[in-house]
Chain A
Amino acid sequence: MSFISYLVNGISLGSVYAIIALGYTMVYGIAKMLNFAHGDVIMIGAYVVLTAMASAGVSPVVAVLLAVVFCTVLGMLIERVAYKPLRNAASPLAVLITAIGVSYLLQNVALLVFGANTKSFTSVVPIPPLVLAGGNLTISGETIMTIGACIVIMVGLTLFIQKSKAGQAMRAVSEDKGAAQLMGINVNGTIALTFAIGSALAAIAGVLLCSAYPTLTPYTGAMPGIKAFVAAVFGGIGSIPGAMIGGILLGVIEIFGKAYISSQMADAIVFGVLIVVLLVKPAGILGKNIQEKV
């Protein structure tokens, strides 16, 4: 039974990574940049929920909605102020370094506003745990909520990209910005929309993560952010199903590593997997080897 329990926990943790990885992979696919501040948006989202519930006393649902709105605006603001001016910079390193700078900025602003003390996060999930197999297997409400949210987001995002006009515009921009402009697509607007969606997902990921692992510090987002990046690369960066598969595999590997190998070594195993994947399949599981067609 413990194997199944580990597996479910792994899928749940992996679902959080997957939701974060979606933000990474969409931004990479469309703006062709790695937004290393993405993990810290998660942390900001969690603080918004915590503050709204503890200080303003609003209901969990309203708090989560507030966090989504706040992070959406924050993501668009970061893109507008920090990344957009560098879009045509001579070196792609400029925007990468800026993203790392924004990451530290968010962490330090949080440090200033909320302090360095660990805050305990109250779960916002109202679902009772599910007891199966005569009490041998308990699945927490957080786990159910996380996996459910992940499925809904995945389906919703896929439909949005495939069916909606804005989604089609995203695919066109992702392939060829110049040609997309010639079709009448506002490339700046499309990139801003991508950041908005990615950041809204980050807020949801933050709430789910902190509901399952109820501690919050200004550095809470950093590690899951990096791991979600690993997940995105693992699955094939730029690919939405890739981010999903990469995230879930990574979560399962991490939990199994903790359970069966060593809890201290779990992170080493996760990053070791990245190294192996990059050696064997540099483009990731669903990634494509990009070839120039002449």
Chain B
Amino acid sequence: MAMLEIKDIEVYYGVIQAIKGISFEVNEGEVIALIGANGAGKTTILHTITGLLSPKKGTVIFEGKDITKVPAHKIVSLGMAHVPEGRRVFAELTVYQNLRMGAYTRKDKAEIEQTLEMVYKRFPRLEERKNQLAGTLSGGEQQMLAMGRALMSHPKIIVMDEPSMGLSPILVNEIFDIIQEVSAGGTTVLLVEQNAKKALSIADRAYVLETGKIVLDGDAKELMNDDSIKKAYLGE
């Protein structure tokens, strides 16, 4: 059974249909990429999964449980963390406070400390800057903070929205390395990216979105060699 199952979801903004019946699944331990152009509906799908939006039709099933109607603030304690588009760190809080926010729903202090150490180990720059306000960090550091904050909830699956957006090529590589490390650490990853080349290079499987529909899916390495994908998304 898939860890996360999306079944025939349809999402509207007012009268405009953003998602026109999408189904896909994420298995435990996988890295899944959703790729597509601006406006294809990638962010909308993630928001629907984590409860920030509710679909007009269809269901979202996580570990066998229907979470379609579960409000956003109850999702994280089920084991799903969302790194939102544009990082959305709390600029007025310090790096440390932001990380603590990530563990908001967790009770066990010793376990939280353990996760914090793990996050600091993975992102040494966050530890260096733990008392600095998050708003003063660079874009790359903010992305690391957003990822670290999500990891603080000790998720089974981490959903990431455009983690490479607005970052320099070196930082993009660094962020993708970290995503691979997170995956290697046993966390399932659902990744939305416009940088299709990078996303496909680390993903196991991928789904290609066009204006609210999945037009192609399959093994990431195979998709990378698909002619239509090459033309449309890889710029070759």
Q: Which residues of the partner chain B approach A172 to less than 8 Å between Cβ atoms?
A: 90, 93, 101
Q: Which residues of the partner chain A approach B88 to less than 8 Å between Cβ atoms?
A: 176, 178-179
Chain A, residue nearest B89 (CB): A179
Q: Given A184-B105, A185-B104, does the pair A179, B90 have CB atoms closer than 8 Å?
A: yes
Main secondary structure of the interface of B (DSSP, over half): loop
Whether the pair B93, A183 counts as a contact (CB closer than 8 A) is no
Whether the pair B153, A184 counts as a contact (CB closer than 8 A) is yes
B179 at the interface (CB under 8 A from A): no
Which of A176, A184, A294 is in CB contact (< 8 Å) with B77?
A: A184
Whether the pair A181, B52 counts as a contact (CB closer than 8 A) is yes
Whether the pair A184, B97 counts as a contact (CB closer than 8 A) is no
Whether the pair B72, A182 counts as a contact (CB closer than 8 A) is yes
B50 at the interface (CB under 8 A from A): yes
Q: How long is the Cα–Cα vector from A168 to B153 in the complex, in angstroms? A: 16
Whether the pair A182, B82 counts as a contact (CB closer than 8 A) is yes
B102 at the interface (CB under 8 A from A): yes
A138 at the interface (CB under 8 A from B): no
Q: How long is the Cα–Cα vector from A243 to B218 in the complex, in angstroms? A: 58
Whether the pair B52, A184 counts as a contact (CB closer than 8 A) is no
Binary per-residue interface labels of chain B (74-105) against chain A in the complex, 1 for a CB within 8 Å, 0 otherwise: 11110001101000111111000100111011
- Interface Cβ pair total, 8 Å cutoff: 66
- How many chain-B residues does the 8 Å CB contact rule pick out? 29
- How many chain-A residues does the 8 Å CB contact rule pick out? 19
Whether the pair B73, A175 counts as a contact (CB closer than 8 A) is no
B58 at the interface (CB under 8 A from A): no
A186 at the interface (CB under 8 A from B): yes
Which of A165, A169, A181 is in CB contact (< 8 Å) with B72?
A: A181
Q: Which residues of the partner chain B approach A294 to less than 8 Å between Cβ atoms?
A: 166
A84 at the interface (CB under 8 A from B): no
B21 at the interface (CB under 8 A from A): no
A204 at the interface (CB under 8 A from B): no
**Closest 4 A/B residue pairs (Cβ):** A184-B105, A181-B72, A179-B88, A184-B76
Selected A-B contacts with CB under 8 Å, 25 pairs:
A165-B104, A168-B104, A171-B90, A171-B93, A172-B101, A175-B91, A175-B92, A178-B72, A179-B88, A180-B101, A182-B50, A182-B52, A182-B72, A182-B81, A183-B101, A184-B74, A184-B77, A184-B104, A184-B105, A184-B153, A185-B73, A185-B104, A293-B91, A293-B135, A294-B166
